[in-house]
Structure 1
Amino acid sequence: MQLYDAIVIGARCSGASTALLLAQRGHRVLVVDRSSFPSDVISTHFLWPHGMSYLNRWGLLDEVLAVTPAHTTVEVVNDGISLTGSVPTELLREYFRDLHGDDAGVVQSYASVRRRVLDEILVGAAAKAGAEVRTNFTVRELIVENGQVIGIRGRAVDGELVEERARIVVGADGRNSFVARTLALPKYDERPRCTFAYWSYWSGFDLGPAQLHRRGRLACAVAPTNFDQNMVLVWGPSEWSREFRGDVPGNYQKALDFVSPELGDVVRSRGTREERIYGTLDQSAFLRPLHGPGWVLVGDAESAKDQCTAIGITHAFRDAELVSAALDRWLRGDASIDEAMTAYGDRRRSQNAAAYHDYVCTLAEMRPYRHDELQLFVALRGNQQETDRFIATHADVAPVSEFFQASNLFLLNDAAKESSADHAVFEDFAETSRSYQQNLFA
């Protein structure tokens, strides 16, 4: 029986990327997945600029851009206050230097890549790098000896029962991770308040860069994606989901009309829906232990968050690069497994990571913006540098603590007082949104 250096369970964004990077470093890697490729999966499939930069660092960006539109600016509209900006290149360089020790491959563009496109590229790259890829493979059991995971048992596509062993097993199998369930790993810092989300794919219009709209307790987004289509997404607080799904097509359009009448009109009058409307209702956030004897988790398997900042794939790529670098040190004998995993854990559970996790979970509650928050957005309209830094913070490039530190907010709000006194946005949107919920689902 062959002893692999690593067996990776899950061959999508976090798993295929981890397998690719370990194989590129010369390690013997087996990556398995119960799916076949190409195939879609529930996902917002948005890549922020650091996500695109990871693809560039791995030599895959050109292949993605050959079939996927990309832009550098994004429009964010909060209760009628429009901000347009991009993630600054220098902040991206700082992000990579701080997290990975170098800033090679940084690009400023973002893209919305269908998973049937992206995952196939990643799986193909992993195989090309030397990883053994087995699809339509169902893992049935983790092999554990003396408290340590040493391999897997599963069923191959032909029905054969297979046993494989490795020095480390990587759980990259999503928020409902088989590895985590089998090991009875606890969840902690659970945040049950989250969003519901519905989306579909529309042809017939081209609105250019992505738009993110929020009004009251509802939001919507549109982003160009593959196949000359646009992903159009609506979301709101999870406690509204039961009423919303009573008439998904009707409420989907009504939500667009409420949050962004202009976008609602474009979808209604010019758009052709090319697929069914997809949805997800439970996006509660949680953390799990990162590693233990013979195993390590990456991506949503260890840290699941709401979709409201569309950060999931970018974080999966981040984890893949961090964990592969840590495992490489151990596999080459440059560090003990405890040293390698401690280094991985320190970067994954840093103060910045905790602050951003809290930021996403707070946004996911979809509470109406307060007066001072709206005032801040008004202030940002006249300050492009701070607008770009706000977008970088939202995308987890710049630390949350730096943008939202008291001294920075005082300066911005002082500037806002002169420009926002008569701004129409300071009507009672909380009441408007509550009234909308009562009428929408009737």
Structure 2
Amino acid sequence: MEGGDYDVVVVGASLAGCTAAILFARRGARVALLERRSDPEAYKVLCTHAITACAYPVLDELGLVPELEKAGAVRNEARWYTRWGWIVPKPAPGGPELPYAYNVRRSTLDPLLRSRAAATPGVDLLAGHKVTGLLQEGGRTAGVRATTPDGGERELRARLVVGADGKDSAVARLAGIPTRRHENGRFGYLAHYRNLPLPGGIGQTWFLEPDMAYSFPNDDGVTVLAVVPDKQRLPAFREDLEGAFEAFIRALPEAPPLDSAERVSKIIGMVDHPLLTREPTAPGIALVGDAALTGDPLWGTGCGWAFQTAHWLAEAVGPAAAGGGDLDRSLAAYARTHRRRLRPHQRIAVDFARSRPFNPMERLMFSAAARDEGAARHMYLFSARLIGPLGFLNPVSVARAAAVNLRHRFAPAAGRAAYREPERR
């Protein structure tokens, strides 16, 4: 290849990186997929293990859906607790089923996807390679410098370097791409339980204003239980992590019965999890997944967006990366898609990360969703990131929510659920 060893160097062989490598190779590019860890079974431990429904088309294009089903991945139905009662999204009578993707443990998903990437013609998986520098040529990035498993060093030249190396992206740091950091007023801990009974066998999320919690059933009978409290509660967790974690779970409305299950992991978490936003491109560089945008883990969007951003990049840049078009123009197209599709969601997440109760618009939409099946389906589409904030808060939907709440307000008292303020803890 003229001007380098590869068309594309992808740094990071997790969800976004493997997806990008596969899709670029299918579009005719020669791809080096670098992973700093040498173990082919390595996986991300701290994760919600949920893939939102917005990513299903990408999973389908990758050919992963049959393998995920075979591995026992759980279709991610869910219901959400609010002060107005439970929001339970259901298909419309006689209508199609709700869109879905999967809950699946990263210990299952990551090795599966990495092996699929390694077997893709045109992809060279280089395990144990850690990027230490970027090669520059004519004012743009033209490859990477990396250490090898034997302690040596090598240079890999390419038209495009893809940073798929997570929130602490070395590619972004070495390229000098600025990071906008938004503080998170909550912290989080999670643990895995086997054979934990859940109503309907589906996921549960608790909006306790401002505290949060969720339970997501996964493959092999394992359920992820997570608590995401306000940081004012942090001293109690630091003093007695296990006691505070279990006490928080047991106090939830319709709490999962911990005594009926076996905890099969440590309680792990992160006290400080800021939301990060970076420009998704620079000359010769594209960022995907958490490297470009790290959201709030309480929404469980990171895995879905990893798949989606890699797909957007390959769609926009694939031909140019393989030598068949204008690379800079293609990168600009990817950057526009990334900003348009994800920045509005990030703005809402940044605001909610201030650990506040619902604002008036959220109260309107959540209360209506607890009282009306159509409003619940509309909220489900937003939670699955199949519609954006403007679609969620379109005038027709807001008017419908207001009408639902007015009907509820003037309905006979015996015919409506009692309003109850959320418990302040």
Give distance in 2, aligned partners of 1:202 and 1:178.
34
Q: Does the alignment pair 1:162 with 2:151?
A: no
Would the aligned equivalents of 2:189 and 2:270 in 1 still touch at CA under 8 Å?
A: yes
Query: Structure 1 residues 135, 242: CA separation in 2 closer, same or farther (over 3 Å shift)?
Result: farther
Would the aligned equivalents of 2:84 and 2:367 in 1 still touch at CA under 8 Å?
A: no
Which range moves more in the overlay, 369-378 or 203-212?
Answer: 369-378
Give distance in 1, aligned partners of 2:417 and 2:360.
12
**TM-score, normalisation: structure 2:** 0.89
Query: Structure 1 residues 406, 165: CA separation in 2 closer, same or farther (over 3 Å shift)?
Result: same
Q: Give 1:373 deviation, angstroms.
A: 4.1
Match of 2:88 among 64, 81, 84: 84
What residue is the counterpart of 2:12 in the other structure?
A: 10
Any gaps of 5 or more consecutive residues in structure 1? 93-105, 437-442
Which range moves more in the overlay, 327-336 or 243-252?
Answer: 327-336
Match of 2:69 among 44, 65, 70: 65
CA deviation profile, 1:338-384 (whole Å, cap 9, x unmatched): 2101110111111x532211222233333223577445433324432
Give distance in 2, aligned partners of 1:313 and 1:370.
27
Q: Does the alignment pair 1:253 with 2:243?
A: no
Give distance in 2, aligned partners of 1:107 and 1:391.
8
Would the aligned equivalents of 1:379 and 1:413 in 2 still touch at CA under 8 Å?
A: yes
Match of 2:398 among 409, 414, 439: 409
Match of 1:387 among 370, 376, 383: 376
Would the aligned equivalents of 1:142 and 1:151 in 2 still touch at CA under 8 Å?
A: yes
What residue is the counterpart of 1:103 in the other structure?
A: none
* Structure 2 counterpart of 1:235, one-letter code: V
Would the aligned equivalents of 1:6 and 1:29 in 2 still touch at CA under 8 Å?
A: yes
Would the aligned equivalents of 2:320 and 2:327 in 1 still touch at CA under 8 Å?
A: yes
Give distance in 1, aligned partners of 2:239 and 2:254.
22
Q: Secondary structure at the match of 1:227?
A: helix
Give distance in 2, aligned partners of 1:176 and 1:302.
10
The CA RMSD measured in Å over matched residues stands at 2.5
Any gaps of 5 or more consecutive residues in structure 2? none
* Structure 2 counterpart of 1:291, one-letter code: T
Query: Structure 1 residues 311, 86: CA separation in 2 closer, same or farther (over 3 Å shift)?
Result: farther
Which range moves more in the overlay, 117-126 or 405-414?
Answer: 405-414
Query: Structure 1 residues 354, 152: CA separation in 2 closer, same or farther (over 3 Å shift)?
Result: closer
Q: Give 1:143 deviation, angstroms.
A: 1.7
Q: Does the alignment pair 1:309 with 2:299?
A: yes
Q: Give 1:175 deviation, angstroms.
A: 0.6
CA deviation profile, 1:5-44 (whole Å, cap 9, x unmatched): 0111100011111001111222110011112231232211
* Structure 2 counterpart of 1:296, one-letter code: A
CA deviation profile, 1:38-81 (whole Å, cap 9, x unmatched): 12322112011222331112111111111123235311111351
* Structure 2 counterpart of 1:40, one-letter code: Y
CA deviation profile, 1:145-185 (whole Å, cap 9, x unmatched): 34321222222122222222111111110110001111222
Q: Give 1:116 deviation, angstroms.
A: 1.8
Q: Give 1:230 deviation, angstroms.
A: 0.8
Would the aligned equivalents of 1:75 and 1:84 in 2 still touch at CA under 8 Å?
A: yes
Give distance in 2, aligned partners of 1:107 and 1:415.
22
Give distance in 1, aligned partners of 2:277 and 2:360.
32
Query: Structure 1 residues 328, 377: CA separation in 2 closer, same or farther (over 3 Å shift)?
Result: closer
Query: Structure 1 residues 372, 286: CA separation in 2 closer, same or farther (over 3 Å shift)?
Result: closer
* Structure 2 counterpart of 1:186, one-letter code: P
CA deviation profile, 1:400-425 (whole Å, cap 9, x unmatched): 11222355323312321332576776
Give distance in 2, aligned partners of 1:404 and 1:120.
39
